[in-house]
Amino acid sequence: MPTNLNPRSQTSAIVLTSTGSAAQVAQACPFGVYNASIPFLSGASLQVNYVYKKLGGDVVDIELTPGNVYAAYEEAVLEYSYIVNLHQGKNVLSSILGSQTGTFNHKGDRTSGPVSASLQYPRFSLGYSRRVGDGAAAAGGMGGTIPQYSASFKTVAGQQDYDIQKIIKAASDSGTDDAGDPVPYSGKVGNKRVLITKVFYVSPRAMWRFFGYYGGIGVVGNMSTYGQFADDSTFEIIPTWQNKMQAIMYEDSIFTRTSHYSYEIIDNKLRLFPTPSAYGFDDFNDRMWVKFYVDLEPYQTGSYDTGIQGVNNLNTVPFTNLPYQNINSMGKQWIRKYALALCKEMLGQVRGKFTTVPIPGESVTLNYADLLSQAKEEQTELKEKLVEMLKETEYPALAKQDQELTDAASNVLKVTPLPIFVG
């Protein structure tokens, strides 16, 4: 780190004097975010001489102190960190929603949370897509990691309507069903709504032979002789789509063709058609079963869903201020130019307090208005160019560029003669 930032003004002894020690830089930075970074302290120290030269310190007075320059340099680094973090936060938010966030001190440094986020470039993953698909799978009764349960109740002769919510809640509260058997969802319902995914019952075994798929006497339940021959003994080539349709029809017919009941559910109240009669088949068709899962509150915390405790917007993304040592040469040059523009703004503010300075015999008009105008224009231009460049590096933009390169290569190959191999 330089200890003497020469040359200094030859016309003023109070303007940009020799300085540059680490202690002096750290003391002058208002936030102290990077006071522990030697590369930052060195860069801020060197910025004094850069500002001195760019503003003509060898010819005219520069009414700034080294502390002003250090503060501007710190602000420039923080502004650069803000813009990059904002861009990357929008870039990866969808892939990190619901993941662990962190806590930060007044400097913006992370005090707890995932260490992997320190460089602000988390690896793209399908975590968010999996969470969305998981919820959709549970809602459609197709699996997922949300626990699903099975419950049963005994039908009553002449009773058509059954309050499934009430039945399952009672079993959850007591820990046993109406048959006295323990239930796996004990204590999990409470005041939460249960979401029914399937209603079914066990048909009497005597019906399986006549209406089941592989019955040898009757083929009422069969579709297109599916129950007569296995696929490997059918006297034709079976297309794949037919096998798929057969599998779908097989499952559907279990609940329709071979079923004796139909039903509707409104507000977790089950209505059976026809009304159950007094003539049952012991433990078979007089007991109904339902599959369900317990609704999760959107902000509930638990082993599955971190809810509001995790990342839910840009504010909770675990990004810290960019480590100065990880900023490359392109970023450091942007910081130097932006810090210079900030120094111009400060110099304009200082000179604006006294538009003219009296000297023997006349007065000198200061250029504060030009400095303020230049400073604002340069700051705006620098930020716009940085944002524009970052937009060109967003994941969708990069994917589009890769596609264009692939298409271009493919078009070239279309007109490229194929090599001829002999022997």
pLDDT tens readout for residues 193-210: 888 888 887 655 444 444
Say yes or no to pLDDT of 401 above 60.
yes
Separation between Cα atoms, residue 276 and residue 272, nearest integer Å: 8
Q: Are 263 and 199 in contact (CB under 8 A)?
A: yes
What lies within 8 Å, CB to CB, of 64 at 6+ separation is 15, 16, 51, 343, 346, 347, 350
What local confidence, expressed as pLDDT, does residue 338 receive? 98
For residue range 322-372, list pLDDT tens digits in order: 999 999 999 999 999 999 999 999 999 988 887 665 555 565 567 788 899
| pLDDT number for residue 210 | 43
Distance CA 351, CA 65 (A): 14
**Which H helix or E strand runs over 294?**
strand 287-294
Strands 161-163 and 269-273: antiparallel
Q: How far, in Å, CA of 343 to CA of 44, rounded?
A: 13
Q: Which of 56-60, 159-163, 230-234 has the lowest mean pLDDT?
A: 230-234
pLDDT of residue 373: 93
Looking at residue 363, what is its pLDDT? Answer: 55
Least confident of 16-25, 297-306, 316-325: 297-306
Alpha-carbon distance 93 to 312, whole Å?
A: 9
For all residues of the chain together, what is the average pLDDT? 76
Of 207, 382, 189, nearest to 297 (Cα)?
189
The better pLDDT of the pair 270, 124 is held by: 270
Q: Per-residue pLDDT tens for 266-277?
A: 888 999 888 887
- Model confidence at 43, pLDDT cuts 50, 70, 90, reads very high
Per-residue pLDDT at 305 exceeds 70: no
How far apart, in whole angstroms, are the C-alpha atoms of residue 153 and residue 348? Answer: 82
